[in-house]
Structure 1
Protein backbone atom coordinates (compact mmCIF):
# COMPACT_ATOMS: atom_id res chain seq x y z
CA UNK A 1 0.00 0.00 0.00
CA UNK A 2 1.37 3.42 -0.98
CA UNK A 3 1.50 6.53 1.15
CA UNK A 4 -1.35 8.19 -0.69
CA UNK A 5 -3.61 5.21 -0.06
CA UNK A 6 -2.86 5.42 3.63
CA UNK A 7 -3.41 9.19 3.75
CA UNK A 8 -6.57 9.14 1.66
CA UNK A 9 -5.21 11.15 -1.27
CA UNK A 10 -7.06 10.97 -4.58
CA UNK A 11 -4.31 12.82 -6.44
CA UNK A 12 -0.70 13.32 -5.46
CA UNK A 13 1.96 15.13 -7.49
CA UNK A 14 5.51 15.64 -6.27
CA UNK A 15 7.93 17.63 -8.43
CA UNK A 16 5.82 16.66 -11.46
CA UNK A 17 6.66 17.91 -14.94
CA UNK A 18 4.11 17.10 -17.67
CA UNK A 19 4.20 17.82 -21.38
CA UNK A 20 4.32 16.45 -24.90
CA UNK A 21 7.30 14.72 -26.48
CA UNK A 22 10.18 16.02 -24.41
CA UNK A 23 8.77 19.53 -23.95
CA UNK A 24 7.35 20.26 -20.47
CA UNK A 25 4.25 22.44 -20.18
CA UNK A 26 3.68 21.90 -16.45
CA UNK A 27 6.90 22.09 -14.47
CA UNK A 28 7.87 20.80 -11.02
CA UNK A 29 4.39 20.94 -9.53
CA UNK A 30 3.48 19.72 -6.04
CA UNK A 31 -0.23 19.07 -5.49
CA UNK A 32 -2.39 16.94 -3.23
CA UNK A 33 -6.15 16.46 -3.62
CA UNK A 34 -7.81 14.56 -0.81
CA UNK A 35 -10.52 12.01 -1.48
CA UNK A 36 -13.93 13.64 -1.54
CA UNK A 37 -12.70 17.14 -2.40
CA UNK A 38 -14.30 19.22 -5.17
CA UNK A 39 -11.62 21.28 -6.92
CA UNK A 40 -11.65 23.83 -9.75
CA UNK A 41 -8.51 24.06 -11.91
CA UNK A 42 -8.31 27.55 -13.40
CA UNK A 43 -5.86 29.33 -15.65
CA UNK A 44 -5.59 31.57 -18.70
CA UNK A 45 -5.17 30.36 -22.26
CA UNK A 46 -1.99 28.28 -22.54
CA UNK A 47 -1.35 28.30 -18.79
CA UNK A 48 -1.02 24.52 -18.58
CA UNK A 49 -4.26 23.69 -16.79
CA UNK A 50 -5.49 21.29 -19.47
CA UNK A 51 -2.06 19.66 -19.72
CA UNK A 52 -2.16 19.11 -15.97
CA UNK A 53 -5.50 17.31 -16.28
CA UNK A 54 -4.33 15.30 -19.29
CA UNK A 55 -1.25 14.23 -17.36
CA UNK A 56 -3.49 12.79 -14.65
CA UNK A 57 -5.26 10.73 -17.32
CA UNK A 58 -2.14 9.50 -19.10
CA UNK A 59 -2.97 11.64 -22.17
CA UNK A 60 0.13 13.81 -21.67
CA UNK A 61 3.58 12.55 -20.71
CA UNK A 62 4.94 12.71 -17.17
CA UNK A 63 8.48 13.91 -17.87
CA UNK A 64 9.67 14.02 -14.27
CA UNK A 65 8.62 13.64 -10.68
CA UNK A 66 5.77 11.51 -9.35
CA UNK A 67 2.08 11.49 -10.27
CA UNK A 68 -0.34 9.18 -8.44
CA UNK A 69 -4.08 8.65 -8.74
CA UNK A 70 -5.92 6.78 -5.99
CA UNK A 71 -2.61 5.57 -4.58
CA UNK A 72 -1.26 4.22 -7.88
CA UNK A 73 1.27 5.74 -10.31
CA UNK A 74 -0.51 7.27 -13.29
CA UNK A 75 -1.10 4.78 -16.07
CA UNK A 76 -0.88 1.75 -13.78
CA UNK A 77 -4.36 1.77 -12.28
CA UNK A 78 -5.78 -1.66 -13.07
CA UNK A 79 -9.42 -0.81 -12.42
CA UNK A 80 -9.88 1.90 -15.04
CA UNK A 81 -13.46 2.52 -13.99
CA UNK A 82 -12.27 4.13 -10.76
CA UNK A 83 -11.44 7.30 -12.72
CA UNK A 84 -14.08 8.97 -14.91
CA UNK A 85 -13.36 11.59 -17.57
CA UNK A 86 -15.52 14.12 -19.38
CA UNK A 87 -13.38 15.59 -22.21
CA UNK A 88 -13.39 19.15 -23.51
CA UNK A 89 -15.89 18.60 -26.27
CA UNK A 90 -19.30 20.22 -26.58
CA UNK A 91 -21.05 17.41 -28.45
CA UNK A 92 -20.91 13.67 -29.02
CA UNK A 93 -19.86 12.55 -32.48
CA UNK A 94 -18.69 9.37 -34.09
CA UNK A 95 -18.48 7.45 -37.32
CA UNK A 96 -21.44 5.23 -36.40
CA UNK A 97 -24.79 6.62 -35.19
CA UNK A 98 -25.52 5.59 -31.62
CA UNK A 99 -28.31 5.98 -29.11
CA UNK A 100 -28.02 7.60 -25.72
CA UNK A 101 -28.13 4.13 -24.15
CA UNK A 102 -25.24 2.91 -26.31
CA UNK A 103 -23.02 5.94 -25.69
CA UNK A 104 -23.57 5.83 -21.93
CA UNK A 105 -23.06 2.06 -21.99
CA UNK A 106 -19.49 2.68 -23.14
CA UNK A 107 -18.84 3.93 -19.63
CA UNK A 108 -19.33 0.41 -18.31
CA UNK A 109 -16.46 -0.93 -20.44
CA UNK A 110 -13.99 0.37 -17.89
CA UNK A 111 -15.61 -1.93 -15.33
CA UNK A 112 -16.24 -4.93 -17.58
CA UNK A 113 -13.49 -5.00 -20.15
CA UNK A 114 -13.90 -4.45 -23.87
CA UNK A 115 -15.52 -7.75 -24.84
CA UNK A 116 -17.81 -8.42 -21.90
CA UNK A 117 -21.57 -8.31 -22.18
CA UNK A 118 -23.69 -5.92 -20.18
CA UNK A 119 -25.56 -7.68 -17.39
CA UNK A 120 -28.58 -6.57 -15.42
CA UNK A 121 -26.48 -4.55 -12.97
CA UNK A 122 -24.72 -2.78 -15.84
CA UNK A 123 -27.98 -1.92 -17.58
CA UNK A 124 -29.28 -0.57 -14.28
CA UNK A 125 -26.14 1.56 -13.87
CA UNK A 126 -26.58 2.96 -17.38
CA UNK A 127 -30.23 3.79 -16.74
CA UNK A 128 -29.36 5.41 -13.41
CA UNK A 129 -26.63 7.55 -15.00
CA UNK A 130 -28.99 8.71 -17.75
CA UNK A 131 -31.67 9.48 -15.17
CA UNK A 132 -29.15 11.46 -13.12
CA UNK A 133 -28.60 13.87 -16.02
CA UNK A 134 -32.33 14.15 -16.69
CA UNK A 135 -32.47 12.32 -20.02
CA UNK A 136 -34.43 9.16 -19.21
CA UNK A 137 -37.03 10.06 -21.81
CA UNK A 138 -34.30 10.16 -24.51
CA UNK A 139 -32.63 6.84 -23.63
CA UNK A 140 -33.29 5.23 -27.01
CA UNK A 141 -32.91 8.37 -29.12
CA UNK A 142 -29.91 8.94 -31.39
CA UNK A 143 -27.46 11.27 -29.71
CA UNK A 144 -27.33 13.28 -32.92
CA UNK A 145 -30.94 14.32 -32.33
CA UNK A 146 -30.10 16.00 -29.01
CA UNK A 147 -29.15 19.62 -28.41
CA UNK A 148 -25.55 20.54 -27.63
CA UNK A 149 -26.32 20.88 -23.92
CA UNK A 150 -28.06 17.52 -23.85
CA UNK A 151 -25.14 15.86 -25.63
CA UNK A 152 -22.84 17.34 -23.02
CA UNK A 153 -24.99 15.73 -20.34
CA UNK A 154 -24.70 12.39 -22.17
CA UNK A 155 -20.91 12.63 -21.84
CA UNK A 156 -21.31 13.22 -18.11
CA UNK A 157 -23.64 10.21 -17.85
CA UNK A 158 -21.10 8.08 -19.72
CA UNK A 159 -18.46 8.94 -17.13
CA UNK A 160 -20.87 8.36 -14.22
CA UNK A 161 -21.94 4.95 -15.55
CA UNK A 162 -18.60 3.52 -14.43
CA UNK A 163 -19.33 4.69 -10.87
CA UNK A 164 -15.93 6.40 -10.55
CA UNK A 165 -14.19 7.35 -7.33
CA UNK A 166 -12.50 10.28 -9.09
CA UNK A 167 -14.23 12.34 -11.80
CA UNK A 168 -12.15 14.69 -13.98
CA UNK A 169 -14.07 17.11 -16.20
CA UNK A 170 -12.64 19.51 -18.80
CA UNK A 171 -14.78 22.63 -19.41
CA UNK A 172 -18.11 20.92 -18.63
CA UNK A 173 -20.14 24.15 -18.77
CA UNK A 174 -18.54 25.73 -21.84
CA UNK A 175 -20.90 26.29 -24.75
CA UNK A 176 -24.05 25.01 -23.06
CA UNK A 177 -27.13 26.94 -22.00
CA UNK A 178 -27.97 28.13 -18.50
CA UNK A 179 -30.51 25.37 -17.93
CA UNK A 180 -27.93 22.67 -18.69
CA UNK A 181 -25.42 24.40 -16.42
CA UNK A 182 -27.94 24.38 -13.59
CA UNK A 183 -28.70 20.70 -14.18
CA UNK A 184 -24.98 19.88 -14.11
CA UNK A 185 -24.42 21.90 -10.93
CA UNK A 186 -27.24 20.05 -9.15
CA UNK A 187 -25.93 16.70 -10.36
CA UNK A 188 -22.34 17.38 -9.27
CA UNK A 189 -23.59 18.48 -5.87
CA UNK A 190 -25.14 15.03 -5.45
CA UNK A 191 -22.07 13.26 -6.86
CA UNK A 192 -19.79 15.15 -4.50
CA UNK A 193 -22.06 14.50 -1.52
CA UNK A 194 -21.81 10.78 -2.28
CA UNK A 195 -18.03 10.97 -1.81
CA UNK A 196 -16.74 11.17 -5.38
CA UNK A 197 -13.67 13.38 -5.81
CA UNK A 198 -14.25 16.11 -8.40
CA UNK A 199 -11.59 17.91 -10.44
CA UNK A 200 -13.07 20.40 -12.89
CA UNK A 201 -10.92 22.28 -15.39
CA UNK A 202 -12.89 25.40 -16.24
CA UNK A 203 -12.51 28.93 -17.52
CA UNK A 204 -15.44 30.09 -15.39
CA UNK A 205 -16.17 28.50 -12.04
CA UNK A 206 -19.25 30.63 -11.38
CA UNK A 207 -21.90 28.13 -12.56
CA UNK A 208 -20.39 25.46 -10.29
CA UNK A 209 -19.45 27.69 -7.36
CA UNK A 210 -21.92 25.90 -5.14
CA UNK A 211 -20.04 22.59 -5.40
CA UNK A 212 -16.41 23.56 -6.13
CA UNK A 213 -14.95 24.91 -2.91
CA UNK A 214 -11.19 24.75 -3.59
CA UNK A 215 -9.41 26.41 -6.51
CA UNK A 216 -6.04 25.76 -8.11
CA UNK A 217 -4.78 28.42 -10.51
CA UNK A 218 -2.16 27.34 -13.06
CA UNK A 219 0.05 30.09 -14.48
CA UNK A 220 2.91 29.45 -16.91
CA UNK A 221 3.02 25.79 -15.94
CA UNK A 222 3.17 26.42 -12.20
CA UNK A 223 0.52 26.56 -9.48
CA UNK A 224 0.21 30.21 -8.48
CA UNK A 225 -2.77 29.84 -6.15
CA UNK A 226 -4.20 26.97 -4.11
CA UNK A 227 -6.96 27.89 -1.72
CA UNK A 228 -10.67 28.65 -1.33
CA UNK A 229 -12.56 29.33 -4.55
CA UNK A 230 -13.88 32.51 -2.98
CA UNK A 231 -10.31 33.87 -2.83
CA UNK A 232 -9.51 33.49 -6.52
CA UNK A 233 -10.72 36.92 -7.64
CA UNK A 234 -8.41 38.67 -5.19
CA UNK A 235 -5.49 36.62 -6.50
CA UNK A 236 -6.25 36.59 -10.21
CA UNK A 237 -5.62 39.80 -12.13
CA UNK A 238 -8.07 38.63 -14.83
CA UNK A 239 -10.90 38.74 -12.30
CA UNK A 240 -11.41 35.00 -12.29
CA UNK A 241 -12.47 34.80 -15.96
CA UNK A 242 -10.28 32.61 -18.13
CA UNK A 243 -10.19 31.74 -21.78
CA UNK A 244 -12.00 28.57 -22.67
CA UNK A 245 -9.77 27.52 -25.56
CA UNK A 246 -6.45 26.13 -24.35
CA UNK A 247 -5.12 25.44 -27.84
CA UNK A 248 -1.60 26.44 -26.82
CA UNK A 249 -1.92 23.99 -23.98
CA UNK A 250 -3.02 21.06 -26.16
CA UNK A 251 -0.66 20.50 -29.08
CA UNK A 252 -2.10 17.15 -30.15
CA UNK A 253 -5.62 15.82 -30.78
CA UNK A 254 -5.28 13.40 -27.84
CA UNK A 255 -8.54 11.96 -26.63
CA UNK A 256 -11.01 10.79 -29.28
CA UNK A 257 -14.71 10.18 -28.94
CA UNK A 258 -14.78 7.42 -31.57
CA UNK A 259 -15.60 4.83 -28.95
CA UNK A 260 -16.90 1.27 -28.99
CA UNK A 261 -20.65 0.79 -29.20
CA UNK A 262 -22.11 -1.38 -26.48
CA UNK A 263 -25.18 -3.57 -26.58
CA UNK A 264 -26.63 -5.96 -24.06
CA UNK A 265 -26.66 -8.83 -26.55
CA UNK A 266 -23.09 -9.27 -27.60
CA UNK A 267 -19.49 -8.09 -27.51
CA UNK A 268 -18.71 -4.44 -28.06
CA UNK A 269 -17.69 -3.38 -31.56
CA UNK A 270 -15.23 -0.62 -32.20
CA UNK A 271 -16.36 2.14 -34.51
CA UNK A 272 -12.95 3.74 -34.49
CA UNK A 273 -9.65 3.95 -32.66
CA UNK A 274 -9.18 5.56 -29.29
Structure 2
Protein backbone atom coordinates (compact mmCIF):
# COMPACT_ATOMS: atom_id res chain seq x y z
CA UNK A 1 0.00 0.00 0.00
CA UNK A 2 1.12 3.55 -0.71
CA UNK A 3 0.33 6.72 1.20
CA UNK A 4 1.49 10.33 0.96
CA UNK A 5 2.76 12.29 3.96
CA UNK A 6 2.79 16.08 3.72
CA UNK A 7 3.41 18.56 6.49
CA UNK A 8 3.85 22.25 7.21
CA UNK A 9 2.15 23.68 4.16
CA UNK A 10 1.79 27.06 5.99
CA UNK A 11 -0.88 28.58 3.76
CA UNK A 12 -1.01 32.37 3.65
CA UNK A 13 -3.08 35.07 1.98
CA UNK A 14 -2.88 35.03 -1.83
CA UNK A 15 0.48 36.36 -2.99
CA UNK A 16 2.02 36.43 0.50
CA UNK A 17 5.35 34.65 0.85
CA UNK A 18 7.42 33.00 3.59
CA UNK A 19 11.16 33.04 3.04
CA UNK A 20 10.48 34.33 -0.47
CA UNK A 21 8.33 31.29 -1.28
CA UNK A 22 4.60 31.26 -2.03
CA UNK A 23 2.94 28.60 0.15
CA UNK A 24 -0.25 28.38 -1.91
CA UNK A 25 1.65 28.01 -5.16
CA UNK A 26 4.00 25.43 -3.66
CA UNK A 27 1.10 23.42 -2.26
CA UNK A 28 -0.50 23.39 -5.70
CA UNK A 29 2.81 22.21 -7.16
CA UNK A 30 3.02 19.46 -4.54
CA UNK A 31 -0.52 18.26 -5.36
CA UNK A 32 0.27 18.22 -9.07
CA UNK A 33 3.48 16.26 -8.42
CA UNK A 34 1.59 13.70 -6.34
CA UNK A 35 -1.02 13.23 -9.05
CA UNK A 36 1.66 12.81 -11.69
CA UNK A 37 3.63 10.11 -9.86
CA UNK A 38 1.39 8.79 -7.07
CA UNK A 39 -2.23 9.03 -8.15
CA UNK A 40 -2.61 5.42 -6.92
CA UNK A 41 -1.97 6.36 -3.28
CA UNK A 42 -4.50 5.01 -0.81
CA UNK A 43 -4.40 8.11 1.40
CA UNK A 44 -2.68 11.47 1.87
CA UNK A 45 -2.13 12.88 5.36
CA UNK A 46 -1.05 16.47 6.11
CA UNK A 47 0.36 16.69 9.63
CA UNK A 48 -0.27 20.25 10.61
CA UNK A 49 0.65 23.87 10.23
CA UNK A 50 -1.98 24.03 7.52
CA UNK A 51 -2.27 27.81 7.87
CA UNK A 52 0.58 30.11 8.85
CA UNK A 53 -1.69 32.41 10.91
CA UNK A 54 -4.69 30.17 11.53
CA UNK A 55 -6.91 32.22 9.22
CA UNK A 56 -10.31 30.83 8.28
CA UNK A 57 -9.77 31.93 4.67
CA UNK A 58 -6.76 29.61 4.42
CA UNK A 59 -8.86 26.66 5.57
CA UNK A 60 -11.60 27.52 3.08
CA UNK A 61 -9.03 27.62 0.27
CA UNK A 62 -7.52 24.33 1.46
CA UNK A 63 -10.93 22.67 1.54
CA UNK A 64 -11.59 23.75 -2.04
CA UNK A 65 -8.28 22.23 -3.18
CA UNK A 66 -8.87 18.97 -1.34
CA UNK A 67 -12.48 18.64 -2.47
CA UNK A 68 -11.16 18.51 -6.04
CA UNK A 69 -8.27 16.15 -5.22
CA UNK A 70 -8.94 12.51 -6.18
CA UNK A 71 -6.90 10.94 -3.35
CA UNK A 72 -8.56 10.74 0.12
CA UNK A 73 -6.98 13.26 2.52
CA UNK A 74 -6.88 13.49 6.32
CA UNK A 75 -5.61 16.45 8.31
CA UNK A 76 -3.89 17.14 11.61
CA UNK A 77 -3.42 20.62 13.08
CA UNK A 78 -0.19 22.15 14.34
CA UNK A 79 1.09 25.08 16.37
CA UNK A 80 0.34 27.67 13.67
CA UNK A 81 -3.26 26.49 13.33
CA UNK A 82 -6.37 27.83 15.04
CA UNK A 83 -8.52 24.90 16.17
CA UNK A 84 -11.79 26.86 16.27
CA UNK A 85 -11.29 28.37 12.81
CA UNK A 86 -10.24 25.00 11.41
CA UNK A 87 -13.27 23.18 12.82
CA UNK A 88 -15.57 25.90 11.52
CA UNK A 89 -14.51 24.75 8.03
CA UNK A 90 -13.87 21.04 8.79
CA UNK A 91 -16.44 20.28 11.56
CA UNK A 92 -16.52 16.56 10.80
CA UNK A 93 -12.88 16.16 11.92
CA UNK A 94 -13.60 16.86 15.61
CA UNK A 95 -13.59 14.07 18.17
CA UNK A 96 -16.06 13.92 21.05
CA UNK A 97 -13.84 16.24 23.13
CA UNK A 98 -13.60 18.91 20.45
CA UNK A 99 -10.06 18.04 19.40
CA UNK A 100 -9.01 17.39 15.79
CA UNK A 101 -8.61 13.64 16.13
CA UNK A 102 -9.91 10.68 14.19
CA UNK A 103 -9.56 7.30 12.51
CA UNK A 104 -9.16 6.13 8.93
CA UNK A 105 -8.89 2.46 8.00
CA UNK A 106 -6.72 1.37 5.09
CA UNK A 107 -5.94 -2.13 3.75
CA UNK A 108 -2.55 -2.05 5.50
CA UNK A 109 -3.34 -0.42 8.86
CA UNK A 110 -5.70 1.66 10.93
CA UNK A 111 -4.52 5.30 10.90
CA UNK A 112 -4.97 7.51 13.97
CA UNK A 113 -4.73 11.30 13.66
CA UNK A 114 -3.69 13.21 16.79
CA UNK A 115 -4.15 16.83 17.88
CA UNK A 116 -1.04 18.23 19.59
CA UNK A 117 -2.03 21.91 19.28
CA UNK A 118 -1.50 23.94 22.47
CA UNK A 119 -3.05 27.39 22.14
CA UNK A 120 -0.89 30.51 22.51
CA UNK A 121 2.41 28.66 22.14
CA UNK A 122 4.41 26.91 19.43
CA UNK A 123 5.09 23.96 21.73
CA UNK A 124 2.79 20.96 21.72
CA UNK A 125 0.67 19.29 24.39
CA UNK A 126 -1.08 15.95 24.60
CA UNK A 127 -3.22 16.42 27.68
CA UNK A 128 -4.96 13.82 29.84
CA UNK A 129 -8.15 14.01 27.81
CA UNK A 130 -6.34 13.41 24.55
CA UNK A 131 -4.30 10.61 26.11
CA UNK A 132 -7.55 8.92 27.19
CA UNK A 133 -8.87 9.18 23.63
CA UNK A 134 -5.71 7.64 22.22
CA UNK A 135 -5.62 4.90 24.86
CA UNK A 136 -9.19 3.93 23.99
CA UNK A 137 -8.41 3.83 20.28
CA UNK A 138 -5.32 1.70 20.87
CA UNK A 139 -7.21 -0.67 23.16
CA UNK A 140 -10.08 -1.22 20.75
CA UNK A 141 -8.07 -2.37 17.73
CA UNK A 142 -5.73 -5.32 17.29
CA UNK A 143 -3.55 -3.42 14.80
CA UNK A 144 -1.50 -2.77 12.91
CA UNK A 145 -1.74 0.98 13.51
CA UNK A 146 -0.11 4.11 12.11
CA UNK A 147 -0.02 7.35 14.14
CA UNK A 148 0.10 10.84 12.62
CA UNK A 149 0.81 13.99 14.65
CA UNK A 150 2.38 17.43 14.28
CA UNK A 151 4.88 17.90 17.12
CA UNK A 152 7.98 15.75 17.52
CA UNK A 153 7.30 13.20 20.29
CA UNK A 154 10.99 12.92 21.26
CA UNK A 155 13.94 15.31 21.57
CA UNK A 156 15.77 16.06 18.32
CA UNK A 157 18.75 17.61 20.17
CA UNK A 158 18.44 20.96 18.43
CA UNK A 159 17.81 23.33 21.32
CA UNK A 160 15.43 25.79 19.60
CA UNK A 161 13.27 22.93 18.32
CA UNK A 162 13.28 20.96 21.55
CA UNK A 163 11.85 23.96 23.41
CA UNK A 164 8.77 23.71 21.19
CA UNK A 165 8.48 19.93 20.97
CA UNK A 166 5.64 17.90 22.47
CA UNK A 167 6.21 19.07 26.06
CA UNK A 168 4.52 16.09 27.71
CA UNK A 169 6.28 13.64 25.44
CA UNK A 170 7.18 11.26 28.29
CA UNK A 171 3.52 10.44 28.99
CA UNK A 172 2.92 9.98 25.28
CA UNK A 173 5.88 7.61 24.96
CA UNK A 174 4.75 5.62 27.99
CA UNK A 175 1.34 5.07 26.41
CA UNK A 176 2.90 4.20 23.04
CA UNK A 177 5.24 1.71 24.74
CA UNK A 178 2.31 -0.33 26.03
CA UNK A 179 1.13 -0.83 22.44
CA UNK A 180 4.45 -0.92 20.58
CA UNK A 181 3.82 -4.38 19.14
CA UNK A 182 0.84 -3.05 17.15
CA UNK A 183 2.02 0.46 16.16
CA UNK A 184 4.07 0.11 13.00
CA UNK A 185 5.14 3.74 12.54
CA UNK A 186 4.64 7.29 13.84
CA UNK A 187 4.72 10.22 11.39
CA UNK A 188 5.19 13.84 12.48
CA UNK A 189 6.07 17.27 11.09
CA UNK A 190 6.87 20.59 12.81
CA UNK A 191 10.67 20.51 12.51
CA UNK A 192 10.91 21.09 8.72
CA UNK A 193 13.71 18.51 8.69
CA UNK A 194 14.16 14.93 7.46
CA UNK A 195 14.28 12.94 10.69
CA UNK A 196 14.15 9.27 11.63
CA UNK A 197 14.45 7.37 14.87
CA UNK A 198 12.22 5.58 17.34
CA UNK A 199 9.85 6.30 20.19
CA UNK A 200 9.43 3.55 22.77
CA UNK A 201 10.79 1.13 20.18
CA UNK A 202 8.39 2.37 17.47
CA UNK A 203 9.94 3.77 14.26
CA UNK A 204 9.25 7.46 13.59
CA UNK A 205 9.96 9.77 10.66
CA UNK A 206 9.52 13.35 9.58
CA UNK A 207 10.39 15.55 6.61
CA UNK A 208 10.67 19.06 5.25
CA UNK A 209 7.43 20.82 4.37
CA UNK A 210 6.00 21.91 1.07
CA UNK A 211 7.26 25.50 1.44
CA UNK A 212 10.17 26.66 3.63
CA UNK A 213 12.93 24.46 5.04
CA UNK A 214 14.91 24.32 8.27
CA UNK A 215 18.51 23.20 8.77
CA UNK A 216 20.12 21.16 11.60
CA UNK A 217 22.45 23.89 12.85
CA UNK A 218 23.60 22.38 16.15
CA UNK A 219 25.77 25.39 17.02
CA UNK A 220 22.69 27.67 17.24
CA UNK A 221 21.02 27.34 20.63
CA UNK A 222 18.44 30.15 20.56
CA UNK A 223 17.00 30.87 17.12
CA UNK A 224 15.39 28.50 14.63
CA UNK A 225 17.47 27.95 11.49
CA UNK A 226 16.25 28.30 7.92
CA UNK A 227 17.67 27.27 4.55
CA UNK A 228 16.93 27.26 0.83
CA UNK A 229 16.75 23.47 0.55
CA UNK A 230 14.03 22.16 -1.77
CA UNK A 231 10.37 21.80 -0.86
CA UNK A 232 9.29 18.21 -0.24
CA UNK A 233 6.63 15.67 0.61
CA UNK A 234 6.81 12.02 1.67
CA UNK A 235 5.88 8.77 -0.05
CA UNK A 236 5.33 5.73 2.17
CA UNK A 237 5.10 2.09 1.09
CA UNK A 238 3.69 -0.46 3.52
CA UNK A 239 4.15 -4.20 3.08
CA UNK A 240 3.24 -7.04 5.37
CA UNK A 241 6.62 -6.90 7.08
CA UNK A 242 8.18 -3.54 6.14
CA UNK A 243 7.65 0.23 5.91
CA UNK A 244 9.63 2.29 3.37
CA UNK A 245 9.63 6.10 3.63
CA UNK A 246 10.88 8.48 0.92
CA UNK A 247 11.24 12.26 1.04
CA UNK A 248 10.53 13.57 -2.47
CA UNK A 249 12.09 16.97 -3.09
CA UNK A 250 9.63 18.19 -5.69
CA UNK A 251 11.11 21.69 -5.39
CA UNK A 252 14.48 20.57 -6.74
CA UNK A 253 15.13 22.15 -10.13
CA UNK A 254 18.49 20.66 -11.09
CA UNK A 255 19.34 17.76 -13.38
CA UNK A 256 18.38 14.16 -12.61
CA UNK A 257 20.63 11.61 -14.31
CA UNK A 258 19.58 8.08 -15.14
CA UNK A 259 21.40 5.15 -16.70
CA UNK A 260 21.43 5.58 -20.45
CA UNK A 261 21.39 9.36 -20.36
CA UNK A 262 23.92 11.09 -22.70
CA UNK A 263 26.52 11.68 -20.00
CA UNK A 264 26.16 8.33 -18.22
CA UNK A 265 28.81 6.69 -20.41
CA UNK A 266 31.39 9.07 -18.93
CA UNK A 267 30.83 7.72 -15.39
CA UNK A 268 33.66 5.22 -15.30
CA UNK A 269 36.60 4.31 -13.11
CA UNK A 270 39.19 5.27 -15.72
CA UNK A 271 38.17 8.88 -16.13
CA UNK A 272 36.27 9.36 -12.87
CA UNK A 273 34.32 11.90 -14.87
CA UNK A 274 31.05 12.38 -13.08
Question: Do the two structures share a fold, i.e. TM-score over 0.5?
Answer: no
Structure number with higher relative contact order (C-alpha < 8 Å, ≥ 6 residues apart):
1
The higher radius of gyration belongs to 2
TM-score with structure 1 length normalisation? 0.33
